[in-house]
Structure 1
Amino acid sequence: MLPDNILGWLVVGVVAGALGKLIMPGKDPGGLIVTILLGIAGAYLAYVVIPLIGLAEWIAEPSWFKTIVASTIGAVVLLGLYRVVMAKRR
């Protein structure tokens, strides 16, 4: 499910991070670099969580579509967590 080279990570990061920010618009920090890191972190989160919730067969046959979907969901979750933490700090 995860990309196997740096270019793959960058593509997944920018697409998933941008989709995550599109799904959850708002005042979040960062430009392109933070968006890429958000997407990469979302991909890693999805890679760890998907088997834990019993969907390991979903990633048995990896595809770019599944990777982008899972990474975007992970990015949305991370954005949500960021907003909860920042709201408590105010």
Structure 2
Amino acid sequence: MGVVSWIILGLIAGVIAKILMPGKDPGGCIITILLGIGGAFVGGWIGKTLFHTQLGTFFEARTWGLAILGALVILVVYRLVLGNRKHHRRD
């Protein structure tokens, strides 16, 4: 897939992950896109490592499933890291 496809996939995967895990997160659209793009990479790694499959073409269901799974993983880690910082900060 080309760079534009990764960005589009990342944007949509990030939005879907955000819908599946609603809540307050710092950052806006840019962070969602970055989490989604990172999620596509993480999803590709998860697919290759655990399921012995790789991301397919843009329109394949496994590509979207792995990208969304990866975005969810990154969103959980993102919330854990930022959640811990919030609680330890003194105002």
Normalising by the smaller structure, the TM-score range is 0.7 to 0.9
Higher relative contact order (CA 8 A, sep 6+): 1
Aligned residue number for residue 82 of structure 2: 86
Structure number with larger C-alpha Rg: 2
Which residue does the alignment assign to 2:6? Answer: 9
**Is the CA contact 1:15–1:68 (under 8 Å) kept in the aligned structure 2?**
no
Which aligned pairs between 1:10-89 and structure 2 lie closer than 5 A? 10-53=7-50, 55-56=51-52, 58-59=53-54, 62-63=56-57, 64=59, 65-89=61-85
Unaligned runs of 5+ in 1: none
| Residues 13, 68 of structure 2: 8 Å contact kept | yes
- Counterpart secondary structure, 1:59: coil
- Give the CA RMSD over aligned residues: 1.6
The number of residue pairs the alignment matches comes to 84
TM-score, normalization by structure 2: 0.80
TM-score by structure 1 length? 0.80
